[in-house]
């Protein structure tokens, strides 16, 4: 059964120290979560979570764009209707539609990638969430019972205001 | 320069920004009731129009587009408030935008919702509006993607989706905070909307990355949306419509009217919700400077459009041009120039005169002027077509006027409801900074 | 294509302005043939009157040497019609015989086509049409009644074209020149209007269109109209 420690820090420097310490003790970013009431910018090597959102969105947008071009081509030719001397499928006359729907693809991709990367809405394992006061940075470590001492030491030595054990995983 | 709210203790910030959410003063309720009645009256007018036929509007051959299209372009223009503030200022890391972003994004979403109603309201057979969407049907027919009106449909749908997401994403942390302190139905609502946000670093980083991407995407979409609306007109061969300047002209005009709308809304919420410490003179002055800049840009485009038309001396265009500048539409034209350029230039260009009050006055005149500009783009060209035998004058009917006024009331209603449910100033962006060197 | 040599028809019209007296018999005939809505004076004053064909008057010269040029203006059935590509629902398009057809049951009433028509020949049904008795008894059963919210315009009396084509197909022959006459052409007392197949070089309309007096309205816009106006020679 894994245990969870939460250490509250007032200073970002202290939190960074704790994270470096935890990393040195063999904890991976998957075990560590930092809670705060506003976004904190950590140095890269301390808590590295690679994100492919930009690439994913670009690829999603391009894919959607190709689908849209194909759709418009198919629909215009499935029932060809001559209007005003314009070709049945005109790339430039329908270019705006492609652009807009490419952007829509990018928007929708961004939103769903956000949901994916943030883990919202919460599902699956419900890990315990420490309550965080404004201005506090709370570092939560999930560890096996034999790693518990190392985790607690890392948090305390970095200068945590208090280190507490929080509930079990559900 | 640090904006004042960063020196206020966080508890007080949160209390100030959350205070409007609980309870409703009699002033709020009366205003809401009044605005709702006006909006409802507009809805009834539309119902009357659907029942009797679109002929109850004042439009007729050759002026086939009237107030409804003017309002459509106007409201889509207003929706560019959020674009500038949220997207451009976010991309350039201008921190003074922080208290203003949510108010601006809310304007964008609601203005788009209202503006997007008008393509349906102005239809002759409005109950068949869904034929403009591509869906498989027994007729095997698809819409005509070559039509600028279809470009409108895709552009506005995209922009509305994007703006809603762009409004919702940074709202999540605030909703999560609200949930902690709420009870009853509010707690259930906030709980559902917050998607289980806990403030973990993974969530924050995902949010920040998403916001950065969305800012860039929304900017690209917003520029294209109003360009596409402009192309409704410039793709036509009607005299003085077939102009390549319309795209940029409309985008500039949209950002211009958007900033003006934002200033007015900010002034109202500042007064009504006692946010004087959060929406300071600094914010108004910065926005006023932007308004002045857009006024000069607007003047540049207006001069460019009119000068080229006049110099080209093409007979059909000159008739339309003459009617705007010297003829029947001249009063509206010169009032527009006065409202859009003279007033902002004097009130906001002279540093001593640039105050919150003059910013509000200038914004109101800009709103009036920009509405007149949309009017002057659409009506004169249609009144004076290429064959003089088919010229005609336009006067709006009570239905069109009712619906136009009702949209302003409707905007007010939507905004008041939004400000009652969610903090109109972003609370989490006022967090006491836990900086790297503390 | 209901003829032996498979060349499709290309319907066009020629109007000799030298012959037109401005009597407006064509306007009345069109009203009768196509079930046009009748406007009362109030609606007409509001610009709501519907006349698929109208006679434009151009006054030249000063009194007492005034001349009037009468010009019947109807849908020019443009080959490159500006009204067609802007319709979002394909309610107007060019059929294989070159006619610019308006599909009443598809029109949702955006009215973009009417704005884009440089000849202002498109008319909108602002309300459901009402005919005061006994005008309602006079309707042509071959032509549908358009409901409110739908755009309409001159169709070159497509119902007469279709009838002639059906008869010709049944009799296994091609439609003869002059066999099809829209109501306006049929009723012109001065025989100023001629209708026929532009693809047939021998037809009267082709010969008139090729005449030295032949012009087209607003030709500089590149709409390629199929109504040829023969300017006055006198």
ipTM for this prediction = 0.92
The answer to whether the CB atoms of C80 and A82 lie below 8 A apart is no
pLDDT on residue B438? 36
**Least reliable range by pLDDT among A122-131, B137-146, B150-159, C4-13:** A122-131
pLDDT on residue C95? 92
Neighbour-count burial of B207, counting CB atoms closer than 10 A to its CB (0-12 exposed, 13-18 middle, 19+ buried): buried
Spatial CA neighbour of A137 closest among A41, A2, A20, A66: A41
pLDDT in tens, B161-212: 999 999 999 999 999 988 888 888 888 999 889 888 888 888 999 999 999 9
Task: Judge whether C112 is closer than 8 Å to chain A, CB to CB.
Answer: no
Distance, CA of B118 to chain centre: 14
CB atoms within 10 A of CB C131: 15
pLDDT at C173 over 70: yes
pLDDT at A168 over 70: no
Q: Which residues contact C61 (CB under 8 A, 6 or more apart)?
A: C67
Q: Which residues contact B41 (CB under 8 A, 6 or more apart)?
A: B402, B406
Q: Which residues contact C42 (CB under 8 A, 6 or more apart)?
A: none
Count CA atoms closer than 13 A to C52's CA, side-chain side.
26
Determine the average pLDDT of the residues in B425-433: 75
pLDDT in tens, B233-250: 999 999 999 999 999 999
pLDDT at B142 over 60: yes
Of the pLDDT bands very low, low, confident and very high (cuts 50, 70, 90), residue A169 is: low
User: Searching chain C, which residue's CA lies closest to the CA of residue A89?
Assistant: C85
**Cα angle A52, A57, A58; round to 5:** 105
Task: Judge whether C117 is closer than 8 Å to chain A, CB to CB.
Answer: no
pLDDT at A170 over 70: no
C-beta separation of C78 from C226 below 8 A:
yes
Q: What is the pTM of this model?
A: 0.94
Task: Judge whether C91 is closer than 8 Å to chain A, CB to CB.
Answer: no
Of the pLDDT bands very low, low, confident and very high (cuts 50, 70, 90), residue B433 is: low
CB atoms within 10 A of CB B96: 16
**Pairing of β C11-16 and β C193-197:** antiparallel
pLDDT at B2 over 60: no
Spatial CA neighbour of A133 closest among A36, A5, A12, A42: A36
Average pLDDT over chain C, rounded to whole? Answer: 93
**Least reliable range by pLDDT among A42-56, A95-109, A119-133, C20-34:** A119-133
The answer to whether the CB atoms of A120 and B172 lie below 8 A apart is yes
DSSP B323-349: HHHTSTTHHHHHHHHIIIIIHHHHHHH
User: Searching chain C, which residue's CA lies closest to the CA of residue B52?
Assistant: C127
CB atoms within 10 A of CB B175: 21
Element (H, E) at B82: helix B80-82
CB pairs under 8 A between A and B: 175
Task: Judge whether B315 is closer than 8 Å to chain C, CB to CB.
Answer: no
Q: Which residues contact B188 (CB under 8 A, 6 or more apart)?
A: none
pLDDT on residue B276? 87
What is the distance between the alpha carbons of residues C114 and C102, in angstroms, rounded to a whole number?
Answer: 12
What is the distance between the alpha carbons of residues B118 and B77, in angstroms, rounded to a whole number?
Answer: 13
The answer to whether the CB atoms of B201 and A40 lie below 8 A apart is yes
Q: Which of C73, C88, C218 sits opposite B147 (nearest CB)?
A: C88
pLDDT on residue B435? 47
Output B87 or C215, whichever has higher pLDDT.
Answer: C215
């Amino acid at each position: 059964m894994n245990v969870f420690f939460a250490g509250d820090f007032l200073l970002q420097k202290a939190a960074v120290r704790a994270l470096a310490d935890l990393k040195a003790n063999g904890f991976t970013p998957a075990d560590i979560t930092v809670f705060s009431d506003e976004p904190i910018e950590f140095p890269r090597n301390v808590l590295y979570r690679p994100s492919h959102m930009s690439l994913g969105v670009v690829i999603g947008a391009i894919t959607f764009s190709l689908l849209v071009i194909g759709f418009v081509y198919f629909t215009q030719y499935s029932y060809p209707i001559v209007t005003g001397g314009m070709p049945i499928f005109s790339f430039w006359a329908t270019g705006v539609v492609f652009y807009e729907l490419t952007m829509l693809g990018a928007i929708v991709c961004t939103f769903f990638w956000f949901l994916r990367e943030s883990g919202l809405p919460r599902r699956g394992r419900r890990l315990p969430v420490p309550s965080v006061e404004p201005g506090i940075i709370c570092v939560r470590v999930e560890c096996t019972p034999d790693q518990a001492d190392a985790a607690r030491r890392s948090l305390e030595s970095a200068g945590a205001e208090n280190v507490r054990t929080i509930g079990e995983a559900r | 320069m640090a904006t004042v709210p960063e020196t206020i203790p966080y508890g007080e910030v949160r209390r100030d920004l959350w205070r409007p959410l609980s309870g409703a003063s009699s002033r709020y309720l009366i205003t809401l009731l009044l605005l709702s009645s006006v909006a409802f009256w507009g809805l009834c007018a539309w119902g009357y129009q659907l029942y009797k036929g679109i002929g109850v509007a004042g439009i007729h051959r050759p002026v086939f587009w009237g107030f409804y299209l003017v309002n459509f372009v106007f409201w889509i223009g207003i929706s560019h408030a959020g674009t500038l503030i949220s997207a451009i200022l976010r991309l350039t890391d201008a921190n003074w935008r922080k208290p203003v972003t949510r108010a601006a994004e809310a304007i964008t979403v609601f203005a788009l919702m209202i503006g997007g109603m008008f393509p349906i309201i102005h239809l002759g057979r409005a109950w068949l509006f869904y034929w403009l969407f591509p869906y498989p049907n027994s007729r095997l027919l698809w819409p005509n993607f070559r039509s600028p009106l279809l470009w409108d449909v895709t552009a506005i749908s995209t922009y509305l989706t994007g703006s809603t997401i762009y409004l919702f994403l940074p709202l999540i942390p605030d909703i999560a905070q609200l949930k902690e302190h709420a009870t009853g139905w509010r707690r259930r609502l906030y709980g559902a909307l917050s998607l289980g946000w806990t403030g973990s670093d993974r969530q924050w980083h995902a949010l920040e990355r998403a916001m950065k991407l969305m800012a860039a995407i929304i900017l690209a979409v917003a520029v294209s949306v109003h360009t596409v609306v402009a192309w409704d007109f410039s793709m036509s061969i009607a005299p003085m419509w077939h102009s390549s300047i319309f795209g940029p002209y409309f985008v500039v005009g949209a950002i211009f009217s958007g900033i003006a709308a934002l200033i007015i809304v900010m002034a109202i919420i500042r007064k009504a919700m006692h946010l004087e410490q959060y929406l300071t003179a600094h914010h108004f002055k910065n926005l006023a400077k932007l308004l002045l800049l857009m006024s000069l840009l607007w003047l540049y485009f207006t001069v460019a459009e009119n000068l080229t038309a006049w110099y080209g001396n093409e007979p059909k265009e000159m008739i339309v041009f003459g009617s705007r500048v010297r003829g029947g539409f001249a009063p509206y034209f010169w009032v527009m120039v006065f409202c859009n350029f003279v007033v902002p230039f004097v009130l906001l260009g002279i540093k001593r005169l640039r105050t919150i009050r003059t910013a509000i006055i200038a914004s109101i005149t800009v709103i009036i002027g920009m509405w007149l500009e949309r009017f002057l783009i659409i009506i004169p060209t249609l009144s004076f077509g290429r064959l003089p035998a088919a010229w005609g004058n336009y006067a709006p009917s009570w239905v069109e006027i009712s619906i136009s006024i009702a949209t302003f009331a409707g905007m007010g209603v939507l905004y008041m409801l939004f400000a009652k449910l969610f903090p109109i100033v972003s609370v989490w962006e006022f967090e006491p900074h836990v900086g790297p060197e503390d | 294509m209901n003829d032996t040599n498979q060349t499709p028809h290309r319907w066009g019209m020629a109007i000799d302005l030298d012959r037109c007296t401005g009597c407006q018999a064509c306007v009345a005939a069109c009203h009768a043939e196509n079930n046009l809505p009748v406007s009362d004076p109030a609606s007409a004053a509001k610009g709501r009157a519907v006349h698929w064909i109208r006679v434009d008057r151009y006054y030249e010269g000063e009194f007492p040497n005034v001349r009037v040029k009468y010009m019947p203006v109807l849908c020019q059935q443009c080959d490159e019609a500006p009204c067609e590509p802007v319709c979002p629902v394909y309610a107007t398009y060019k059929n294989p015989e070159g006619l610019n057809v308006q599909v009443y049951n598809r029109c949702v009433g955006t009215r973009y086509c009417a704005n884009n028509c440089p000849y202002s020949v498109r008319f909108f049904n602002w309300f459901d049409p009402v005919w005061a008795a006994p005008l309602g008894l006079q309707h042509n059963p071959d032509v549908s009644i358009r409901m409110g919210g739908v755009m309409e315009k001159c169709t070159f009396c497509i119902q007469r074209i279709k009838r002639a084509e059906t008869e010709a197909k049944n009799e296994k022959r091609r439609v003869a020149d002059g066999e099809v006459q829209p109501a306006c052409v049929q009723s012109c007392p001065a025989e100023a209007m001629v209708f026929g197949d532009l693809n047939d070089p021998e037809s009267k309309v082709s010969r008139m269109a090729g005449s030295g007096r032949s012009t087209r309205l607003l030709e500089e816009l590149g709409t390629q109209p199929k109504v040829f106006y023969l300017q006055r020679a006198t």
